[in-house]
């Protein structure tokens, strides 16, 4: 009996923990993107020219982290918009 109750409780917790609305997912992705973008702006856009010349590889790595995240945001936003129609 205890095992059954424990399994049911574990299932409920896992199920509820994994349930995020699309809007919540979008907010979380935007927060991640904003953090990465702020760092990219600082390192790769606003830095002095002599620093930029030395950090091109780092800037590419930062862009490579942001691009897939940006695509996820666009796809999720399109999915949200489509569900509203």
Higher pLDDT, 13 or 68: 68
Which three-class secondary structure state does DSSP give residue 12?
helix
Cα–Cα separations (whole angstroms), residue 22 to 11, 29, 56, 79, 83:
22, 10, 35, 9, 10
Burial class (CB in 10 A: 0-12, 13-18, 19+), 28: exposed
For 23-57, the pLDDT digits (tens) are: 999 999 999 999 999 999 999 999 999 998 999 99
Has residue 4 been placed in a domain? no
Q: How many domains does the chain have?
A: 1
Closest C-alpha to 41, from 29, 54, 59, 65 = 59
Q: Alpha-carbon distance 50 to 52, whole Å? A: 5
pLDDT number for residue 20: 84
Has residue 59 been placed in a domain? yes
Model pTM score: 0.70
Has residue 2 been placed in a domain? no
Confidence tier at 7 by pLDDT (50, 70, 90): low
Has residue 60 been placed in a domain? yes
Q: What is the span of the domain harbouring residue 46?
A: 20-84
């Amino acid at each position: 009996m205890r095992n059954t109750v424990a399994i049911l409780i574990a299932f409920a917790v896992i199920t509820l923990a994994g349930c995020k609305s699309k809007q919540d997912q979008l907010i979380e992705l935007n927060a991640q993107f904003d953090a990465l973008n702020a760092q990219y702006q600082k390192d790769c856009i606003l830095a002095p020219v002599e620093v930029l010349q030395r950090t091109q590889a780092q800037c590419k790595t930062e862009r490579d982290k942001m691009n897939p995240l940006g695509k996820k945001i666009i796809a999720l936003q399109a999915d949200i918009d489509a569900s509203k129609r």
